[in-house]
Amino acid sequence: MSGMEIASYLMAVVYVVSFLAMSAILAKEAGRPVWLFGKGREKQTLPALLFRLAFIGAVLWPLWLVAFGNPVTGDPLAAALDGPWFDVLGHLLVVIGACIALLSQRYMGTSWRIGAAEGEQGAIVDSGPFAVSRNPVFVGQALLFIGLFIVLPSLVQVALTLALLLAIRLQVAIEERVLAASLGQPYLAYKARVRRWLGVSGGAIGEAA
């Protein structure tokens, strides 16, 4: 692995550790558990499984590459995206994505939850990064994984990235239903004002609903 590849991998590891540590801190501040994947009427088994697969894979797959090499002989993605400029672009996305995700997580404060369950959601956070995206943590995570794929291109890494993106899409749909049912009109007004991924009504990138 090149120096840039190692730096990107270490940044991803730092993000995963920081995500877990901050979740524990925010749970203590809120005085309640924040892990809601196993609660509520909505089935969250598939997105929870995909999130775990993606993040565990992001930590372990580069170690496998160093120890044993790519098991896919002649991996076309590894050849197509090889080069220092791809490494620079990917590393920038990893760093930017990790920073966006961590800052947004911290900004949620005691409203931070992992998963969704009726009656378990915190108050709406609609300022800071949440004034321009309803899901800035997920946006940051998506950028991080896309960056990792560019830095460490392979069929396995693209599969991990697609797993994360599918998990995000499934989980966002679940959370929107739970938030609408739990928080009612204030959330619906926020949903109408701020886009799902990026932007506000009248000029935005991403879906409004």
Report the pLDDT value the prediction gives residue 198, as an integer from 0 to 100: 92
**pLDDT (tens digit, 9 = 90+) per residue, 163-182?**
999 999 999 999 999 999 98
- Looking at the chain, the whole-number percentage of residues with pLDDT higher than 90 is 73
- 128: tokens are 């800071």
Q: How many CA atoms lie within 13 A of 198 on its CB side?
A: 8
Q: Where are the beta strands (DSSP E) in 32-118?
A: none
**Looking at residues 83-90, what average pLDDT do you find?**
91
Query: Is 102 a residue whose pLDDT tops 80?
Result: yes
pTM equals 0.93
Strand, coil or helix: what is 103?
helix
